[in-house]
Structure 1
Amino acid sequence: MKAGFPGSSQIGVLQWPERAVYFLCGLLRYSYQETTLLLGMSDANVDQLYKFAAKRKTY
């Protein structure tokens, strides 16, 4: 049995911007504002990348 974050096994299928946003927001529970500051992206971009990542991860 592997230990790790829930859902982290499929994170490798994501492109790096989606992966970074999903990791920070989805797994570490950073807010969008914290994520935008860390990655230098707009709120809208972070929101869009997170939604894309969550959708792509389910396939």
Structure 2
Amino acid sequence: MTTERVYHEIAELDDPDGPPWAVVAIYPDRPNGNGCVGIVKSLHTVHADAQLAVDAYRSGIQ
């Protein structure tokens, strides 16, 4: 069994310096056009909350 690679990152929506921020799961092994699949996992109005969510995904908590 192979494990699918997934990366979690924060994406700025609209204004890089203000909300909202999206936590996006990026699947590099799922091609889509010229890129790969990315799925929005959550939206946040506070950047620190988005960072907490990313940290949780990366550590396997969620």
TM-score (norm 1): 0.30
Report the structure, 1 or 2, having the larger helix content.
1
TM-score (norm 2): 0.29
For CA contacts below 8 A with separation 6 or more, give which structure has more relative contact order: 1
Report the structure, 1 or 2, having the larger strand content.
2
